């Protein structure tokens, strides 16, 4: 995979031969140290090409030209990295806003008008993954607490009461479902209205 990314960097986008760009994206700016020409290596190459010791002025001019080339190269890829980062941020922000608007403005659908159980608040609800059943446990309606247990299908269209009084009527409790499908009721308040239970 790394070799494929390196080939894309060099051939398609003409990205410099680097190491850090491979792990992110081909158009990223390479923050690795500049691969400048080595003075000794350059003198050996010029000596091999000309057959005699190169002029120091030629070496210095070549080194200066290489430094200028690397500075221009670095500036070019830094600007490309900035443009790529801005585009990625805009895409992420646009996608997040699109999802937010999609879920915020999507219409709601009432699945069941008369489910059988009384209107209530502060009840416990849990989905059992073993059979896909939904359980509504306890809760209150402002006048009384409930201790019943209702079960419905995953779609929420069919409900049936399993137990009328399974425990002390309460609200504000937690409901857990174990891996084996057992339901656990934790805590809760047996008070009515604004008066909590002792």
pLDDT tens series, the chain, 198 aa: 556 655 655 555 455 444 455 445 544 444 444 555 677 777 777 777 776 777 788 778 888 888 888 788 778 777 777 888 888 889 999 999 998 888 888 787 777 777 888 888 999 999 998 888 999 999 998 888 998 999 988 888 888 998 888 888 899 899 999 888 888 898 888 887 555 544
Q: Is 188 exposed, middle or buried (0-12, 13-18, 19+ CB in 10 A)?
A: buried
Task: Report in angstroms the alpha-carbon separations of 1 from 7, 9, 67.
Answer: 10, 12, 32
Q: Give pLDDT, residue 115.
A: 82
Which pLDDT belongs to residue 165? Answer: 83
Residue 12: the pLDDT is 52
């Amino acid at each position: 995979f790394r070799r494929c990314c390196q080939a894309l960097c060099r051939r398609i986008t003409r990205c410099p031969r680097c190491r850090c760009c491979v792990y992110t994206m081909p158009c990223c700016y390479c923050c690795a140290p500049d691969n400048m020409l080595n003075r000794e290596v350059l003198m050996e190459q010029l000596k091999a090409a000309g057959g005699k010791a190169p002029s120091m002025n030629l070496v210095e001019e070549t080194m200066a030209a290489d430094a200028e080339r690397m500075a221009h190269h670095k500036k070019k890829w830094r600007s490309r990295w900035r443009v790529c980062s801005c585009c990625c941020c805009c895409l992420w922000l646009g996608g997040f806003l699109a999802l937010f608007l999609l879920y915020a403005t999507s219409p709601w659908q009432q699945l069941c008008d008369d489910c059988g159980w009384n209107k209530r608040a502060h009840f416990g609800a849990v989905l059992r993954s073993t059979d896909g059943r939904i359980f509504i446990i306890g809760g209150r309606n402002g006048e009384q607490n409930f201790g019943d247990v209702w079960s419905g299908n995953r779609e929420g269209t069919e409900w049936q009461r399993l137990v009328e009084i399974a425990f002390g009527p309460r609200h504000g409790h937690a409901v857990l479902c174990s891996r084996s499908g057992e339901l656990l009721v934790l805590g809760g308040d047996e008070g009515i209205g604004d008066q909590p239970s002792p």
